[in-house]
Amino acid sequence: MTRFDDGATPKADEQLVLAPESTPWHLYPMQGAEYQDYRNAADDLLGPYPERTVETFHDLGLSDDEIAQYFGTSLRRIKRLSEGSKRSDRSPSLRDVAKLVRAKLFDGTI
């Protein structure tokens, strides 16, 4: 029997061997806490890294009020996230890099 024989049936003494990619896999249900953590991360409109999201929207020129309105979340949360993204150990934001590039290209001063 070849794999191209559609009408062929295995003989009684033949044992069917499944390829590794065709073996059944098992689903294990998540525990309640795991599911809740997954749901909270998936339901967050700001994504898995909300500080980075807020920082990106700031780089695009939006204010905290505009970001809060866009995502339909509280202004207090956006302000808290934007304060966290203003740490000194972070790399320069896109806006800072754009200022440096503009200065170098157009007037030579910052």
Q: Tens digit of pLDDT for each residue in 9-23?
A: 666 666 767 676 766
For the segment 95-109, the average pLDDT, to the nearest whole number, is 74
Write the Ramachandran bin of 72: left for phi over 0, alpha for psi from -120 to 50, otherwise beta. left
Residue-range domain boundaries for the chain? 44-107
Burial of 67 (0-12, 13-18, 19+ CB in 10 A): buried
Total-model pTM: 0.43
| pLDDT range class, residue 86, cuts 50, 70, 90 | low
